[in-house]
Amino acid sequence: MPKQKTHKGTKKRFRLSAKGKAMHRSSGTSHLAGGVSNKRSRNLRGTTSVDTCMEKTIQKALGKYSS
């Protein structure tokens, strides 16, 4: 049986924390941020964890990068 391939789009968008949570960048930060308030752009900094219902799917798509 062939090996499970890593989903490259998932690999680019998510990474796993030390405890195994899937982390992602907040949306609305890359461009057209001039119309966004300073408070909003400040709160969008950094990474946030994904919903628990999606974690299993993301870990499966990451393949060997999930451990």
Work out the pLDDT band at 30, boundaries 50, 70, 90. confident
Going from the C-alpha of 19 to that of each of 2, 13, 55, 56, the distances in angstroms are 29, 18, 12, 13
Q: What is the reported pTM?
A: 0.76
Q: Which residue has tokens 């405890």?
A: 19
Q: Which domains, and CATH codes, for the chain?
A: 1-24+38-67 (4.10.410)
CB burial readout 34-45, b (16+ within 10 A) else e: eeeeeeeeeeee
With 80 as the cut, is the pLDDT of residue 57 above it? yes
